[in-house]
Structure 1
Amino acid sequence: MTSVSSTPPPPGLYVPAVLFFHAESEDIDWDSYAKHIRRLAEGGVTGILIQGSNGEAQHLSHEERAKTIAFARETLDSAGFQNVVVIAGTGAQSARETKQLCKDAKEAGAGWVLVLTPSTWAPAMGVDKILAFHRDVASASPLPYMIYNFPVVTAGIDLDSDVVSALAPHPNIVGTKLSCGNIGKILRLSAEYDYRSEFATFAGKSDVFLHTLLSGGAGVIGALVNVVPKVHSKVYQLFLEYQKDPVRNAGKLNEAFDLQKEISAADWAVSKIGGVGGVKSIVAREFAYGNDTVRGPLLSVSLNSLVESNVNTKEGKWWKAVQKVIEIEKSL
């Protein structure tokens, strides 16, 4: 096994950063990407996940994947955010390629890797194959290793708490991102492992951010943080204040829940508006950088009809929910 200091990433709020492209060429728009990284850091994120699902990792070459990681690390450092950590998504469809991506991530300056379960041959991926894959790659990884569970992008493969728990004792496996949004799973894993020293369980959806914290989880790695990092940071700070003295600071928890309600509504709305393309469109419209360009087979998302929708339609309600959290973001 590669010798590494295998500790979980610090608890808090993380963002699977979207990557911006020029509209005609689909080349990476480095200027917009830098603006986005700086805004996220200024918004109080604990760390940035580069090449998560929202970063369109599977649409990039190996060279592009390594370059985006290095660029993010360099942008954070040059802006004075050395404390903001970088996690690299390094999932691929073979163990061999995944191992190489883990090595590339270390050379590019990442601190941890996050790995999806291969899904091209989903019917053949029984529990024994899943355990063998993650243990094999984790043993070869030069960086501490996190398991990424996202059934939507892995042909329905959904790792239950027994499978994740069986992997957690591996000396180089230090955490998981659960984009399944299963609070019971989060609670079971959080009860079994200390998120600071053993194994960190992160929600992969913002709509269960506060619920995860109250369940003993480490925090969130959520797409909506791309849009409203300050709102998420406010929820986290309120939770920490409540945690210090639950009796005296009960009002802090109520305030956090009020914000969480708005986050949950917006998280659902963004998923319905259009996922990755929707996030890019919203950021470009509201924060004046980037555009809605995605690489195929994803589709760009136009917000014009949504913005003009009657507030009583479902589309109008979605946009109203997004507007509400952005108003809060801009007030913080």
Structure 2
Amino acid sequence: MTLPVPLTGVVPPLCTPLTREGDVDTRSLEALVERLVEAGVDGLFVLGSTGEAPYLDDARRHTALRTVVTAAAGRLPVLAGVIDMATARVLDHARAAAGLGADALVATAPFYARTHPVEIADHFRRVRAGTGLPLFAYDIPVSVHRKLPAGTVLELAGDGTLAGLKDSSGDDGALRRLLVGLRARGLLDRFTVLTGSELSVDGALLAGAHGVVPGLGNVDPEGYLRLYGHARAGRWSEAAAEQDRLAVLHALTGTGPEEAMGRNASAIGGFKAALHLLGVLDCPATAAPQVPLDDVAVATVRALLTERGLL
């Protein structure tokens, strides 16, 4: 389908359900898509960090994207992550995603080797030219070890290389300055800014962001839809109250013991445990080598869902 310009609202980054053997569980993924469509979200982001894309081989990535595109059936735009270390690999993913029916692409800057802003700009231009699909930059310095330079984003927004930005930098001040710069250049009506900082969505929307890409939206899409609706209607106290409720629920991402597992594994495990308890996923397995949640952590996830009225 044609991507709205700008893309607004709630665009969850889908979990990728897996079997115990590590294959994509297409039945559970279809169920997750249907759940989110019925909730009323505004788009679907496949193969991002929440989707464990860095842990999946190409065949599993293709299976996940194909399943989501088919299940969405044109009802919502599908954004496909094409995340990899270097331009040639990202172009391979981009062409595959285009062939599988993605409506837009999401790419980080190159990583592992240090890159200059000139090289980052060239990278995004090559990816954009590779398929012609709308391209979103993914600013996630915790994973690529460098924040996207604001000047580069403004340049690529201005010349049409980038259709938007998913900002998961956690730097609210930098996001605010970028929004000011985009507004001054008259670009906010054609360049989408989505925040990935799901605990400060109300502030980002007040500053001018168009929407949110919340991992917790897999579990509680209605909560983020209420938050977005309050913000767009100018009901900021109600938006803040909903944000506070979601902040409490977000604790499910930290239930895994720090001495036994990484924080990424804890977060993805928390989302998947919640979806398993809600009956959406058949199995809460995460991709190797991430450590699964133990029984104590799962019990805490269950308690959080119960306290928030979701279970």
Matched, 1:163 2:146: no
Q: Deviations over 1:188-229 (max 9, x none)?
A: 222333676321111112112111111100111111111100
Q: CA deviation at 1:58?
A: 2.1
- What code does the residue aligned with 1:33 have? L
Percent identical residues: 22
- What code does the residue aligned with 1:149 have? D
Matched residue, 2:263: none
Matched residue, 1:12: 9
Matched, 1:305 2:296: yes
Q: Is the 8 A contact 1:262 1:321 kept in 2?
A: no
Matched residue, 1:267: 250
- What code does the residue aligned with 1:130 have? I
Matched, 1:145 2:142: no
Matched, 1:191 2:180: yes
Gaps of 5+ in 2: 257-265
Q: Is the 8 A contact 2:31 2:280 kept in 1?
A: no
The match for 1:293 among 258, 270, 285 is 285
RMSD over aligned Cα, in angstroms? Answer: 2.3
Matched residue, 2:92: 100
CA–CA distance in 2 between the matches of 1:36 and 1:143? 25
User: How do 1:74-85 residues align onto structure 2 when only pairs under 5 Å count?
Assistant: 74-77=70-73, 82-85=74-77
Matched, 1:54 2:50: yes
Other structure's SS at 1:125 match? coil
Matched residue, 1:313: none
Distance 1:293 1:187, change over 3 A: same
TM-score, normalised with respect to structure 2 = 0.87
Matched, 1:210 2:202: yes
CA–CA distance in 1 between the matches of 2:67 and 2:195? 26
Distance 1:271 1:221, change over 3 A: farther
Q: CA deviation at 1:321?
A: 5.2
- What code does the residue aligned with 2:100 have? A
Matched residue, 1:70: 66
- What code does the residue aligned with 1:40 have? L
Matched residue, 1:44: 40
Q: Is the 8 A contact 2:82 2:93 kept in 1?
A: yes
**Aligned residues, how many?**
298
Q: CA deviation at 1:26?
A: 1.3
Gaps of 5+ in 1: 243-251, 309-315
CA–CA distance in 1 between the matches of 2:188 and 2:10? 14
Matched residue, 1:127: 117
CA–CA distance in 2 between the matches of 1:195 and 1:73? 29
Q: Is the 8 A contact 1:7 1:144 kept in 2?
A: no
Distance 1:102 1:8, change over 3 A: farther
Other structure's SS at 2:163 match? strand
TM-score, normalised with respect to structure 1 = 0.82
CA–CA distance in 2 between the matches of 1:102 and 1:9? 21
